Amino acid sequence: MKLKTSICLLIVSSSLLYAEEPKLQTKTFEYGLKAQNITYFPYETSTLRQSQSKLKNNKDLVYLPFFKYRDTNRKFGFEFDMMDVKLNNPYYTGVLTGANALSTTFSYGNIQRQEYRFNFLYYPLENELFYFGLGVLKIDRFYKNQNYEEFSYIYSDKINSYGISMPLRSKIKLMDGLELNLGFDPYVTYGNRNYVNQRVSNVYN
């Protein structure tokens, strides 16, 4: 069984910022929280069934702590952020194909995803309307499900991965104290996977 997580990479975030700027305003340091919507899409929900409901408990709003440093004279900076998402028991109801099929609840157990990102950034423009960089990241994913209603079912999947990214950024100042931050972060990761799938069914004659 493979599980796939889809996270919207185009982020519109409102940030709670605290800036410390010297008089020459050549260096800035920011820290705060960013809000991001998370939606989980396992591909198993698209398998053939007579009917099925939409997946429930698969969305969450998370807050990402971050900090960012910028040196305007040298046109470079760096940023770090992290994320910890936990979804408890995403599920849907469906009817398997076949004669005398009954409605059944399909559960995906507990899901957790952790991300750590560190990016080096280059600022070609003074106003930060567009800037880009190169980053490293670590992504850990963990899924665990135990279901004993119809049969003994123990499933877990743990993935630890590392990778690189190429962040693209844009900051648009709307008014004093209010900014619109846009970001697109394509990335590739490689890692290890520890997969357990044990299923024992009882058949009665």
pLDDT tens for 168-195 read 999 998 988 888 989 999 999 999 988 7
Distance between CA atoms of 67 and 65, rounded to whole angstroms? 7
Asked whether residue 45 is assigned to any structural domain, the reply reads: yes
Asked whether residue 16 is assigned to any structural domain, the reply reads: no
Distance between CA atoms of 205 and 202, rounded to whole angstroms? 10
- Find the domain containing 162 and state its range: 23-199
Question: Coil, strand or helix: which one is 44?
Answer: helix
Asked whether residue 15 is assigned to any structural domain, the reply reads: no
Q: How far is CA 68 from the centre of its chain?
A: 20
Asked whether residue 177 is assigned to any structural domain, the reply reads: yes
Question: What are the tens digits of pLDDT across the range 34-75?
Answer: 888 888 876 555 554 555 567 788 888 888 899 999 998 899
Distance between CA atoms of 79 and 174, rounded to whole angstroms? 22
Count of domains for the chain: 1
> With contact defined as beta carbons under 8 Å apart, do 186 and 196 qualify?
no
Encoding tokens for residue 120? 């080096």
Asked whether residue 204 is assigned to any structural domain, the reply reads: no
